[in-house]
Structure 1
Amino acid sequence: MKTVKVLFPLSLLLLSGCVVGPDYKAPDAALPAKFSQGGHKQADVTLNPWWEAFRDKKLNSLVAQGMGENLDVQQSLERIVESRANVIVAGAGGLPQINAGGSGTVEGQDGSFRRNSGSDDHSETKTLSVGADASWLIDLFGQYRRTKESANASLDAAYDDVNVARLAYLSDLATTYIEARYNQEAYALQQQSLTSRRETLKLTEDIKAAGAASSLDVVQAEGLVNTTLAELPGYQTGFNQSANHIATLLGLPATSVTAGLRKGSAQPWPRYDTKIGVPADLVRNRPDIRRAERQLAAATASIGVAEAQLYPSLTLSGSIDGSRIVASAASGGLTSWSFGPSLNLPIFNGGRLRANVDIAKSAAQQQYLAWKQTVLTGIEEVENALVGLRNSYQTVAALRKVVDSSERALGLARESYKGGATSLLDVLDAERSLAASRVSLAASIRNLANSYVSLNVAIGGGSAIEPPDSKVSETKTSAAY
């Protein structure tokens, strides 16, 4: 008997150390040694403020202003709070549960009846009861340990999700700001074209008055002026829409930042190159890849949770109840208690528990494929951004020459037209070519800036930069205790 008393708790201890389900191992991906444009292994780029390469004070201030105010970022911060609470819930299942309660009642009878001499009867009974019960589900096969493991991995994923939201915010804000400045630049260029075309119209009218031009020439010159006037509102609309979207990204009502952006500024132009590193750096630097890996860890732990339910479960439970009764004639107390284990054996459940294991395994495999897809997508985005940035530099350089040539061609066409050597059509064609080349150059500068943003976002640059009063820092500190 003594041997049983000793072996029984030891067997429980040994069984409680058994954890079913696969142990998680971080996945490996077959990555190329370098990108097509080269690159060398680099340090962490998640703290690199790449937008400062534009040397645009307004852009820098907008980034700082919205870093903690963006609503997507704030939602991701709240998901950290939720995930932390889920860790507590997951851990609570494997701990003893104790509940207590009490009650009190008073019962009595009142009345009167007459015998030989009148008398009144009154009786009263007071009952006070208290009780407590406790239960502890012995984690024989690691169900709650796997549950907590899954919850902790989900918490890690929630932290990475904040950086995903920040990176998306930085990308959206920078590209929208670039678009706003492009529309301002294109509007200003079209205003220059409008001035030039009005000069041509005035010149044509003067020549017609001298009898050297026809009414057709005047009408054609007027048509070009009106065409330019028709294009201007589109650029104004584009600017206002971009400004309104920037306000939304900052968590402000639309039009809140429009006035501050109306003062024109040069189109953003990156002042230095980006160190792209190697594909293996993406696994460390991109928050969406880290998040997918943590979600895979959570899904893997869930397999153990499902498998643990295939095996017996043992619960230790006990209760104690006490009551005190005070009656008119007598009083006394009564105490009762109970304690003992209960064993649950899953014998027949129609295959539900085994199906739950298959579901968990499939979910983990799906999450692995999602992680692998995220890695490959990241490499693709870097490669595309590298090609786009390189080609944008070449396009901008070529278009600058086109603009110079078009400006000289317009000057020569006007001089020839004044001297009667060419027709008005040559002047109008030269003006069209110059206006188109100027806008094309502005669009190419916009594309270059966007490619620079895309490259830095693709490598995860700046995703871990937090505002000074970041709630993420506070949450991480709290989670350490």
Structure 2
Amino acid sequence: MRRIAILAGLSVLAGCVSGPDHVPPEMPLPAKFNEGSAKADGDVSTVAWWTAYRDTRLNGLVTEGLSENLSIQQSLERINAAAGNVTVAGAGALPSLTVGADHTLNGSMGERRSTIGATNTTGASASVGWLLDLFGQYRRSKESAQATLDAAYSTADVAKLTYLQDLVNSYINARYYQERIALSRANLKSRQETYELTKFQLDAGAASRLDVVQAEGLVQSTQAEIPGLETNFRVAAHHIATLLGKPAGSMVAELQRGGSQPVFRAGIVSGVPADLIRNRPDIRVAERNLAAATANIGVAMARLYPTISLSGSIAPSFVNPAGSRGGSLTNWSFGPTLTLPIFDGGSLRAGVDIAKSDAKTQYLVWKQTVLQAVEEVENALSAVRRDAQTVAALRAQVKTTQETLDLSTASYKDGASSLLDVLDAQRQVSLAQASLAAAVQQMATDYVALNVAIGGGYNPGGNTAPAKPVAAKASTAKAG
């Protein structure tokens, strides 16, 4: 009866798990973004939003980089390491068995180097140990390791999202600098024509030397800006190659073939703030880190309580001395070991306090990550909804300045206006064109920022392994 009572007591203790259980955090969020709709999004991780630019070259680069980008590959390797840690964390609560065998020949050598009294000894050993996880230390350790593994999956998604933003923005920049180079070369041709016209009129007595020098200076200033633009284009092309896991110079020739500036042709979709908790991988990372920290509280608390381990061993051996009959001997042992922490200077209790503080910190990190995500979407929405107005106004300005230049040039040829009017009109055209190209670039990058902010596109088509789902959600009640 005593043995039954002891076993029953151990089974009850084995069901105990120290520390709090993880509860998905909650915090109040608005029903919609200020400039968004009240319609919730689905799983935007599968949406290939960059196809809205309708640029097949960009589409190909994105697909290539998702499998070749070195940062993504590193994050995937960290998943393998985290998976191994789950096994390591859970192994402590399982029985261990170690076996071994040996054979030795013992003797002594005389002056004639003959063997005297040789003895053959053959032995084997087996030992077993089992630490009873009465208060859930190893169960909480495995729970923490599993949460860390989930965070590693989501961290890989963060790496993919970071790659998408970096690559698409770099491509947008490369095409922007190509547009600026083309505009500068066209302006250079126009200003050279004006310079030649001014020299002709100087010979005819219709222009002054000052007019010629001013026209020549404008040509020189245009020539001076082209090398810097070409350098910036190459820098963007070099970075694209690096993102694809290639040598920096390998993409220059391909991108020099040219292409128009990317302009997205799709609707603006933002979802609602609550969608971010499901779709943003960095928020899932923060939530999983909180789960791991909560489990570590249980690990620290379990160390305050006694531990019982069962261990045993058996070691048979056979001895065969020379010239006599052999014999055998078997040693064995089995028994429990009780370890009770009595005085440790307060280190174990301090470990619990540290674990609790770390969990509180991780909750605050999660909350901050959510609020930053909401801010990023609000900022991107505000920008995207106004970019088109800026681009439209600048297109009209380019048209107006070009018309002014045409009229000024015709008037100058007729002798009705000065060269200064023509040069000023050329400067205005150049400035308006550069502003328009910059606005188109900004509109394209703001669209990238919006889609990255809502957590879109890191699992295009659903072809790659998705991260494990997380139960976190937003609500109108504040978590404690």
Q: Sort the TM-score into its range (normalised by shorter chain).
A: over 0.9
Judge which range, 164-173 or 104-113, deviates more.
104-113
* 1:338 aligned to which of 333, 341, 345: 333
Amino acid at match of 2:415: G
Number of the residue aligned with 1:354: 349
CA offset at residue 232 of structure 1?
Answer: 0.4
Please give the secondary structure, in 2, of the residue aligned with 1:89: helix
CA offset at residue 257 of structure 1?
Answer: 1.2
Number of the residue aligned with 1:368: 363
CA contact (8 A) 1:112 1:121 kept: no
Structure 1 residues 241 and 121: CA distance shift in structure 2, 3 A = closer
* 1:432 aligned to which of 420, 427, 436: 427
Aligned counterparts of 1:101 and 1:375: Cα–Cα separation in 2 = 55
CA offset at residue 121 of structure 1?
Answer: 9.0
Aligned counterparts of 1:267 and 1:162: Cα–Cα separation in 2 = 30
CA contact (8 A) 2:48 2:461 kept: no
Number of the residue aligned with 1:62: 61
Please give the secondary structure, in 2, of the residue aligned with 1:271: coil
Q: Pairwise mapping of residues 23-42 of structure 1 onto structure 2 (< 5 A)?
A: 23-39=21-37, 40-42=39-41
* 1:175 aligned to which of 156, 169, 173: 169
Q: Pairwise mapping of residues 203-214 of structure 1 onto structure 2 (< 5 A)?
A: 203-214=197-208
Q: How many residues align?
A: 465
* 2:441 aligned to which of 442, 446, 451: 446
Structure 1 unaligned blocks of 5 or more: 114-119, 477-481
Judge which range, 344-353 or 328-337, deviates more.
328-337
Number of the residue aligned with 2:452: 457
Amino acid at match of 2:25: P
Aligned counterparts of 1:94 and 1:148: Cα–Cα separation in 2 = 10
Structure 1 residues 188 and 397: CA distance shift in structure 2, 3 A = same
CA offset at residue 466 of structure 1?
Answer: 7.1
Number of the residue aligned with 1:133: 127
Structure 1 residues 121 and 341: CA distance shift in structure 2, 3 A = closer
Q: Pairwise mapping of residues 262-301 of structure 1 onto structure 2 (< 5 A)?
A: 262-301=256-295
Amino acid at match of 1:16: A
CA offset at residue 124 of structure 1?
Answer: 2.0
Number of the residue aligned with 2:213: 219
Structure 1 residues 211 and 4: CA distance shift in structure 2, 3 A = same
Establish whether residue 422 from structure 1 lines up as the match of residue 420 from structure 2: no
Aligned counterparts of 1:186 and 1:438: Cα–Cα separation in 2 = 8
Root mean square deviation of aligned Cα: 1.6
Report Cα offsets for 1:364-416 as digits up to 9, x if no partner: 11111111111011001001101111221111011011001000100111111
Establish whether residue 124 from structure 1 lines up as the match of residue 118 from structure 2: yes
Aligned counterparts of 2:21 and 2:11: Cα–Cα separation in 1 = 21
Please give the secondary structure, in 1, of the residue aligned with 2:250: coil
Amino acid at match of 1:262: Q
Number of the residue aligned with 1:192: 186
* 2:407 aligned to which of 403, 412, 423: 412
Report Cα offsets for 1:109-155 as digits up to 9, x if no partner: 45489xxxxxx993222111211111100000000100110111111
Q: Pairwise mapping of residues 148-167 of structure 1 onto structure 2 (< 5 A)?
A: 148-167=142-161
Number of the residue aligned with 1:117: none
CA contact (8 A) 2:46 2:462 kept: no
Please give the secondary structure, in 1, of the residue aligned with 2:129: strand
Structure 2 unaligned blocks of 5 or more: 469-480
Structure 1 residues 467 and 203: CA distance shift in structure 2, 3 A = farther
Report Cα offsets for 1:203-239 as digits up to 9, x if no partner: 1111111101100100000000000000001110011
Amino acid at match of 1:445: V
Aligned counterparts of 2:141 and 2:90: Cα–Cα separation in 1 = 8
CA contact (8 A) 2:101 2:125 kept: yes
Amino acid at match of 2:12: L
Aligned counterparts of 1:38 and 1:439: Cα–Cα separation in 2 = 31
Establish whether residue 325 from structure 1 lines up as the match of residue 319 from structure 2: yes
CA contact (8 A) 2:47 2:461 kept: no
Aligned counterparts of 2:462 and 2:371: Cα–Cα separation in 1 = 31
Aligned counterparts of 1:220 and 1:111: Cα–Cα separation in 2 = 113
Aligned counterparts of 1:98 and 1:229: Cα–Cα separation in 2 = 79
CA contact (8 A) 1:244 1:254 kept: yes
CA offset at residue 38 of structure 1?
Answer: 2.4
CA offset at residue 321 of structure 1?
Answer: 1.1
Report Cα offsets for 1:151-182 as digits up to 9, x if no partner: 11111111111110000000000000000000
CA contact (8 A) 1:197 1:225 kept: yes
